[in-house]
Amino acid sequence: MDRDPILLTPGPLTTTLRTKTAMLRDWGSWDADFIAVTARVRARLLDIVSGQGSHVVVPLQGSGTFSVEAAVATLVPRDGHVLVLDNGAYCKRAAKLSQMMGRRASVMAFAEDQAVSAAALDARLQVDASVTHVILIHCETGTGVENPLAAVAAVCQRHGKGLIVDAMSSFAALPIDAAALRFDALVAASGKCLEGVPGMGFVFIRKEVLDGCAGNSQSLAMDLHDQHTYMERTGQWRFTPPTHVVVALDEAISQFIEEGGQPARLARYSDNCRTLIDGLGALGLRPFLAPDLQAPIIVTVHAPAHPAYSFKRFYDGAKARGFLLYPGKLTEVETFRVGCIGAISRREMALAVSAIADTLREMGIDCHAAP
């Protein structure tokens, strides 16, 4: 194959040549030029959520999960009580890391093929005053469902509860306006819908709650209050930054702005999603979610009910044709997942459908026929 494979995953993603090329230069982490890049990235991230003046953004080395863990440790007091709205695998991860941070954590369970319910949260908070913080996964990429951020934020504000949002797979694609909804922290990462490369997370924190976060974290490396304080004072990262990741993100944000920002990115991803679902439907493959729940980020698809099907063979066949898919995250139903995000468009999605069709044909599977 004479090109890189197309990554149809929720991250890492396919990136542009411009983004890749940005990583060819070495940077000194204390150098004024790199400090300027960090400042520009932080300012432009705040612009994307309309957070200038009301929020700060704190970058952190590592994958997105590092930043979710850091947000919980920094925002939630050690005697706090976290309530996780759970309709998928990444919700369960948030509950687990909260417990491992030593915080009391409770879970409100919802079906994996349904969005979480703001009304149910409202009822729970009316009878459980011990909850201090709610965790919401905006787009649960275990299935691809979009959860109701605005409605959940309104409930948390009405009850005076802190809201921590994992917007890993939604930020820069789905609309998020910090001026219109209240959250204490919102977490995203470089290698998702901004189409940078993985290796850096960032957390938007409401200024009103930031000062009260001092001393909450039991981790040195992941103390976001300390990271913010040091960065404001010096312009530098406390510990060695992922320099190449930061400059790649800076370049990716430039392309995001050139494309037309969040509305344009959402339009392209939505077109990718429609192309994928329509194409797979023509092959006899059904999405797991109802259309009104499906975020245009990643699509979970029922695996063919055929004795010849195995995900490994299916994956290897698609890979040989230039496309990397993702395994399912569900425990009761066999599925696979196909991402709609990254530096790809309708053409790549149509080619992916063709690759899937050719792979199934090679495996002797006709999804229209009963096994």
DSSP string over 44-84 = HHHHHTT-TTTEEEEEEES-HHHHHHHHHHHHS-TT-EEEE
pTM: 0.96
Q: What percentage of the chain exceeds 90 in pLDDT?
A: 95
How far, CA to CA in Å, does 358 sit from each of 328, 352, 361?
20, 10, 5
pLDDT 10s digits, 71-82: 999 999 999 999
Q: How far apart are CA 232 and CA 84, in angstroms?
A: 31
Tell me phi and psi for residue 173, to 5 degrees.
-115, -60
Which residues lie across from 206 on neighbouring strands?
A: 55
**pLDDT the model gives residue 206:** 97
193-232 pLDDT tens trace: 999 999 999 999 999 999 999 999 999 999 999 999 999 9
Domain boundaries, the chain: 6-10+260-362, 17-258
- 166, pLDDT greater than 60: yes
What confidence tier does 2 reach under pLDDT thresholds 50, 70, 90? low
With H, G, I as helix, E, B as strand and everything else as coil, classify residue 203.
strand
Determine what percent of the chain is predicted with pLDDT higher than 70.
98
- Measured CA to CA, the distance from residue 320 to residue 230 in angstroms comes to 47
* Euclidean distance between CA atoms 277 and 289, whole angstroms: 11
Matching CATH number, 6-10+260-362, of 3.40.718.10, 3.90.1150.10, 3.40.50.300, 1.50.10.20: 3.90.1150.10
Over the stretch 103-119, which tens digit does the pLDDT of each residue have? 999 999 999 999 999 99
Q: Provide the token pair at 119.
A: 């009304």
Rounded distance between C-alpha atoms, residue 150 and residue 181, angstroms = 6
Hey, what are 335's tokens?
């599925």
Residue 332: per-residue pLDDT: 80
Q: Tell me the per-residue pLDDT of 33-80, one tens digit each, with 9 for 90 and over.
A: 999 999 999 999 999 999 999 999 999 999 999 999 999 999 999 999
pLDDT at 47: 98
Q: Is the pLDDT of residue 1 over 80?
A: no
Place of tokens 């994958």: 63
Query: Mean pLDDT in the chain?
Result: 96
Q: How far apart are the first and last CA of the chain?
A: 33
Per-residue pLDDT tens over the stretch 320-348: 999 999 998 887 889 999 999 999 999 99
Q: Which fold has domain 17-258?
A: Aspartate Aminotransferase; domain 2 (3.40.640)
